[in-house]
Structure 1
Amino acid sequence: MRLSRNKWMVVLAGIGVLLFLPSSAFAWFPFIASNGQPSKWVWNSSCNSGSRPIAVIYDKEIQDEGFDSVVDAVHNSWNVGLNADLFQSQSYSTSNSTVSSVNNYMRLPPANTIRVVWDSDGSIFSFFGIPTDSVLGIGLGFNTNSSRPQDICSGMVLLNGALISSDSEKEKLLYFTLQHELGHVLGLAHSIAGDNTSSGLSVGVFTSASVPTMYPFAPFPMPPVGTPLHADDEAAKKVLYGP
């Protein structure tokens, strides 16, 4: 979940998290499954018979809004630096999601696929009881193998299109919202603010340079589209899915 920078509120990302402190001193937080294992995607096993990279299918309206280059930059930020890409180049549905289609997808999520929903009028967010005036997006990873609850095999991102598209910096807002929510689908929980690589030196925790990608509030001022993952989240990506 990522919240608008105009609304500061407490957010619970999950029931339990585990702090990883590798030798590089980067800090990040994975979702923890019911068996105590960190959640991550699997391929060619468990509930996912597909191969890496993951197919990501977007609502038609995201392309109609002219956001194709933003989406491409988000995918690149997660793929860069790895021996094998996490995400395929984006594809677009011929239609847009509805409450019914979202429910159907959640009941039977196809393996090795992430569906990205653009909620242009708030109807989908409202149906699920998600605030439409402050929550920018939701990222969900799905598991359909009860014997291995830590395995992520498919996912969904819900984007608050009405809120994002009304912002004067909508391209930047979409970039950081989508980047953040795909992090959730990959198994990352929310991070704390601050620089975990500065040996305790303060760098101003609410500057865009020190707010991790997985921090639950949009940074202000908004950095440009194409800004790489924060160092903490880059470390998380490589521990889970690298090198």
Structure 2
Amino acid sequence: MTTLLIADLHLHPEAPQITQGFFDYLERNTAEGTDLYLIGDIFDAWIGDDLMDLGAADPSGHAALACQVAERLKAASDAGMRLFLMHGNRDFLLGESFAQRAGATLLDEPERLDLGGEPTLVMHGDSLCTSDEAYMAFRAKARDPQWQAGVLAMPIPERLALASQLRQQSGEANSTKAADIMDVTPEEVVDVMQAHEVRRLIHGHTHRPAVHDLSLAGPQGDPVSAQRIVVGDWTRDQGWEVRIEDGEAPSLNRFSF
């Protein structure tokens, strides 16, 4: 049994190298007994599952990319790989329609899972960045069902324009923020792990791949060792994964395309 976790591919029509790198990754790893968790920001933006209905008629290329990714995922699923999707801060509008078309299961965020025999909390990670108050306010709005319904009711060209505007605003805002504000809040990490009674947390979002050892309070108040693993973001020439083989400790791996 092999478990793979990846995040922050930010697939976009203007970054075909990453898309091809992802397809090659699927081809290398597709096998029965392999679970692949895509834990957020698989797409750089997602404006609704109905985008796929446009196909090649969408001049932006987003629809064609979405259809192509769904087809490749479905092929992997049909070949025996189990696929799981989780929302990120860029693709929080991913829905059941895409998941079904891709042969994948859409998970809640966060999700407590048994990975390699160890209870593990899996999440995208943006909810851990509580020091970034401006982003947390936007996140609360973007997860509101009424706000989402309003966005999905807009014509697709308007949604594409909104997604582009939000990406630009995010980039401008992040350029002026202190680095520690955009990272996770340590106290929030501890609170979340203890609330879900886990000693292992795996997330993405921060683009700061690393394995962090930490200490939590045990049932009797005594300290217990724990671990936070951050999956890296994909670029035009490399990707990141967390790989868990039965009976072995998780490994955080960088690989070239």
TM value normalised by structure 1: 0.27
Structure with bigger gyration radius = 2
Structure number with the bigger relative contact order (C-alpha 8 A, sep ≥ 6) is 1
Q: TM-score, normalized by length of structure 2?
A: 0.26
Higher helix share: 2
Higher strand fraction: Structure 1 or Structure 2?
2
